[in-house]
């Protein structure tokens, strides 16, 4: 449990450090105060960055609490380890590819390459939806095998952990859909760069969280 909490803490520190260091590629000493005062760009960027940082801090706490409860509950005598479906390995690979695709799209947005945004966002979204669909199929395989929520605490925790992670990805897909719609209606790279960068950080975060969760599930 201690190792898991330390790893989650390291994830959060890494994400926050990246956000604060990058400030989304904007150096305050080269910004135009007059333009910022009129457009509010710097303030908006700061608000969105700090908003994501706060949200990730809360999300990290939630996942840490769930995993801590999992490791404590498994010590009880009624705990029967669950054999995770092999499909989860495939799902993990899909989520890794989604994170890589989003980072590729982020690099295109930063460099101003608008032409790469459409395929990048499309691939990222499709892979993420495939991951969520794969998770649902894994649920169906377990239910078909008689692994119901109420028959074993290990079963209940598996469904809970994967559901919470999936809900966070669904929230990310909502932001992805808004950004993708803007790109498809002619938005340039500069106008959506912030959203794409924040989504990239979010996808990397959820990938790391899933790897921790999957490792915990496999080890128990």
Task: Give yes or no for residue 159 having a pLDDT over 50.
Answer: yes
What DSSP assignment string belongs to 190-218? HHHHHHHHHHHHHHHHHHHHHHHHHHHHH
State the pLDDT confidence band at 125, using cuts at 50, 70 and 90. Answer: very high
**What would the pLDDT profile of 9-42 be if each residue is shown by its tens digit?**
555 555 555 544 544 444 443 344 443 444 444 4
Calculate mean pLDDT across residues 66-88.
86
Q: Which CATH superfamily is domain 2-219 in?
A: Cytochrome c oxidase, subunit III, four-helix bundle (1.20.120.80)
**What pTM value is reported for the model?**
0.81
Task: Give yes or no for residue 193 having a pLDDT over 70.
Answer: yes
Q: Please, are residues 127 and 186 in contact by the beta-carbon 8 Å criterion?
A: no
- Computed on alpha carbons and rounded to an integer, the radius of gyration of the chain in Å comes to 19
**Terminal-to-terminal C-alpha distance of the chain:** 12
For the record, the structure tokens of 54 come out as 């706060």
Between CA 139 and CA 203 the distance in angstroms is 22
Q: Residue 64's pLDDT is what?
A: 87
State the pLDDT confidence band at 74, using cuts at 50, 70 and 90. Answer: confident
Between CA 205 and CA 207 the distance in angstroms is 5
Calculate mean pLDDT across residues 195-213.
92
pLDDT averaged over the chain?
82
What SS3 string covers 79-147?
Answer: CCCCCCCCHHHHHHHHHHHHHHHHHHHHHHHHHCCHHHHHHHHHHHHHHHHHHHHHHHHHHHHHHHCCC
Calculate mean pLDDT across residues 155-172.
94
**What would the pLDDT profile of 101-118 be if each residue is shown by its tens digit?**
999 999 999 999 989 999
Q: Residue 53's pLDDT is what?
A: 82
State the pLDDT confidence band at 67, using cuts at 50, 70 and 90. Answer: confident
């Amino acid at each position: 449990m201690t190792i898991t909490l330390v790893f989650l803490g390291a994830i959060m520190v890494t994400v926050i450090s990246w956000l604060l260091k990058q400030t989304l590629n904007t150096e305050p000493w080269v910004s135009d105060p007059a333009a910022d005062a009129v457009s509010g760009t710097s303030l908006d960027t700061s608000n969105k960055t700090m908003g994501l940082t706060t949200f990730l801090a809360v999300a990290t706490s939630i996942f840490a609490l769930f995993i801590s409860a999992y490791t404590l509950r498994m010590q009880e005598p009624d705990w029967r380890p669950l054999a995770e479906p092999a499909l989860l390995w495939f799902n993990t690979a899909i989520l890794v590819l989604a994170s890589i695709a989003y980072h590729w799209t982020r690099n295109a947005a930063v460099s101003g390459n608008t032409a790469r945004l459409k395929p990048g966002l499309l691939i990222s979204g499709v892979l993420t939806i495939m991951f969520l669909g794969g998770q649902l199929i894994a649920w169906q395989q377990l239910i078909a095998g008689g692994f119901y929520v109420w028959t074993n605490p290990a079963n209940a925790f598996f469904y809970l952990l994967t559901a919470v992670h999936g809900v966070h990805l669904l929230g990310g897909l909502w932001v992805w859909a808004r950004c993708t719609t803007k790109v498809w209606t002619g938005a340039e790279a500069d106008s959506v760069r912030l959203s794409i960068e924040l989504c990239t950080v979010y996808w990397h975060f959820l990938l790391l969280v899933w790897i921790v969760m999957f490792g915990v599930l496999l080890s128990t």
